C-alpha cells in the first residue's frame, strides 16, 4: 500500500484547516465577504500548499522509518513488548482513580504520567526478560528457532562461528577440507558485512585482505565436505562486531573460531569456547627433543655472529650456532635446545661437524 499520497492529502487538509482558522483570525470574522474571503482563502491556500510540500518530511518519512524498524523487530520482542505495555497500562488504570482524587493540578496530571511510566516500564521489562518468560512456558525464542531450523542441525555437533580474522587468514578452509572439523561452521551476517566493508576499502592492502576473505568463503561453500551457512541473527545488546560475536555465541551455545588475540582473551573470560587457529598450528608442529638430528637447509645469517637460520616444513625457525658458513647449504644438525615463546617454538642446533 502506498502511504505517500494518503499522508500528503492528510497533511494538506490539516494545514489547510490551520490556514483557514488563521485567516478567520486575521479577518476577525467568520462571515464570508469579498474582503474576508480573500484573506481566509489566501491563508488557507498558502498553508495547504505548505502542508502539501512538508508532509513527506513530517509524516511520510517518519512513518516509513517506523515501518522499516518494525520489520526488523523480532516477533518475540514485539509480542512481549505489547504484553508488557498492556500490563503496565492495566496497573496504571488501577492507580488512576485514587490518584485522580489528589488536589489540582496533581489529580489531573499524575494519571497521565503514571500511564506513560508504567506502560514504558512494562514493555521494557518484558522485552529484557523475554528469555526467562518464554522459558516458563517452554517457548523457543529466535535463537532456539534458529537452532531447530538448521543453525544447529544436530545436538551432538558443535556450532562454530567464524570471525573476520580467521576467514581472511584462510587456513580454516584447508583445515576444514581435511575433515578434522566435525562441527557445523556458520558466518554471522554482521561478520560478512564487515568483510565486505574491508573488501571495498580504498587501501590496497586492506582491500586485498577483504577480497581474500571472500574467496575463502567461496572456497568453503564449494567444498562438498564442508558444512557452512550464514546466520541473519544480529544481537541488539552489542555494537562492535567482536561483542556481537561473543553475545551470539553465548546465545547459541556455540564456539568461536578466531585468530584475534584480544577476542580470544575477552571471550574466554565470559565463558565462550574459543578455537584459535594459531594455537592449533603450534600444537601440530613436529616435536623435537634435544640430541635429535635433522637435515636442514640454512637460508640466511642469524642475528648473532656466526649463526645461521633455517626453517622446518611447518615454519618453525631453527637457529644454528656456527652455521653461517653453511648458508644456502643443506647440513645435518643436532638439536641442543628448544624454546617455547608466545610466537611459537624456537629451536637451537649445531652442525654435525661441531
In 3-state terms, the chain is what percent helix, strand and coil (to 5)?
55, 15, 25
CB 57, CB 7: distance < 8 Å: no
Q: Which three cell numbers stand for residue 321?
A: 650456532
The per-residue pLDDT for 130 is 73
Where residue 320 falls among pLDDT bands split at 50, 70, 90? Answer: very high
Instruction: Return the CATH number of the domain spanning residue range 293-351.
Output: 2.40.50
Residue 56 or residue 201, greater confidence = 201
The per-residue pLDDT for 137 is 62
Angle at 104 between CA 101 and CA 105, to 5 degrees: 115
Tell me if the bond preceding 105 is cis, omega within 30° of 0.
yes
The per-residue pLDDT for 87 is 92
User: pTM for the full model?
Assistant: 0.48
Residues of the chain with CATH 3.40.50.1010: 143-283
Where residue 308 falls among pLDDT bands split at 50, 70, 90? Answer: very high
Mean residue pLDDT across the chain: 82
CB 346, CB 288: distance < 8 Å: no
Taking residues 29-44, report their average pLDDT: 82
Return d(Cα 21, Cα 16) in angstroms, integer.
9
Return d(Cα 321, Cα 71) in angstroms, integer.
68
Least confident span in 91-100, 137-146, 163-172, 265-274: 137-146
The per-residue pLDDT for 143 is 46
Of 265, 257, 284, residue with least CA distance to 176:
257
Residues of the chain with CATH 2.40.50: 293-351
CATH 3.40.50.1010 for domain 143-283, yes or no, is yes
Q: Which residues pair with 335 in a beta bridge?
A: 349
Return d(Cα 324, Cα 309) in angstroms, integer.
8
Report the chain's C-alpha Rg in angstroms: 34
The per-residue pLDDT for 154 is 40
The per-residue pLDDT for 231 is 86
Amino acid at each position: 500500500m502506498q502511504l505517500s499520497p494518503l499522508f500528503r492529502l492528510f497533511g494538506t487538509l490539516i494545514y489547510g484547516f490551520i490556514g483557514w482558522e488563521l485567516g478567520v483570525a486575521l479577518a476577525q470574522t467568520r462571515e464570508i465577504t469579498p474582503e474576508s474571503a480573500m484573506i481566509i482563502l489566501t491563508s488557507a491556500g498558502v498553508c495547504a500548499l505548505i502542508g502539501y510540500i512538508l508532509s513527506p518530511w513530517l509524516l511520510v518519512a517518519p512513518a516509513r522509518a517506523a515501518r522499516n524498524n518494525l520489520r526488523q523487530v523480532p516477533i518475540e520482542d514485539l509480542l512481549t513488548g505489547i504484553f508488557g505495555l498492556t500490563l503496565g497500562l492495566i496497573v496504571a488504570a488501577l492507580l488512576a482513580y485514587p490518584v485522580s482524587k489528589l488536589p489540582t493540578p496533581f489529580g489531573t496530571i499524575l494519571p497521565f504520567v503514571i500511564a506513560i511510566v508504567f506502560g514504558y516500564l512494562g514493555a521494557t521489562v518484558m522485552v529484557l526478560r523475554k528469555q526467562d518468560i518464554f522459558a516458563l512456558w517452554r517457548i523457543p525464542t529466535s535463537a532456539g528457532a534458529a537452532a531447530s531450523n538448521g543453525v544447529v542441525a544436530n545436538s551432538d555437533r558443535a556450532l562454530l562461528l567464524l570471525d573476520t580474522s580467521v576467514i581472511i587468514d584462510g587456513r580454516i578452509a584447508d583445515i576444514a577440507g581435511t575433515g578434522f572439523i566435525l562441527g557445523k561452521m556458520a558466518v554471522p551476517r554482521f561478520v560478512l558485512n564487515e568483510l565486505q566493508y574491508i573488501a571495498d576499502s580504498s587501501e590496497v592492502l586492506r582491500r586485498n585482505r577483504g577480497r581474500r576473505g571472500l574467496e575463502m568463503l567461496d572456497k568453503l561453500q564449494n567444498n562438498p565436505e564442508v558444512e557452512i551457512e550464514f546466520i541473519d541473527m544480529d544481537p541488539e545488546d552489542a555494537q562492535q562486531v567482536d561483542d556481537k560475536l561473543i553475545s551470539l555465541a553465548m546465545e547459541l551455545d556455540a564456539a568461536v573460531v578466531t585468530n584475534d588475540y584480544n577476542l580470544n582473551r575477552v571471550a574466554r573470560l565470559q565463558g565462550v569456547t574459543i578455537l584459535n587457529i594459531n594455537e592449533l598450528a603450534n600444537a601440530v608442529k613436529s616435536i623435537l627433543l634435544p640430541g635429535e638430528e635433522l637435515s636442514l637447509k640454512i637460508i640466511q645469517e642469524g642475528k648473532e655472529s656466526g649463526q645461521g637460520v633455517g626453517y622446518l616444513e611447518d615454519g618453525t625457525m631453527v637457529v644454528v650456532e656456527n652455521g653461517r658458513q653453511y648458508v644456502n647449504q643443506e647440513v645435518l644438525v643436532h638439536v641442543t635446545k628448544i624454546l617455547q615463546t608466545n610466537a611459537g617454538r624456537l629451536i637451537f642446533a649445531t652442525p654435525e661437524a661441531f
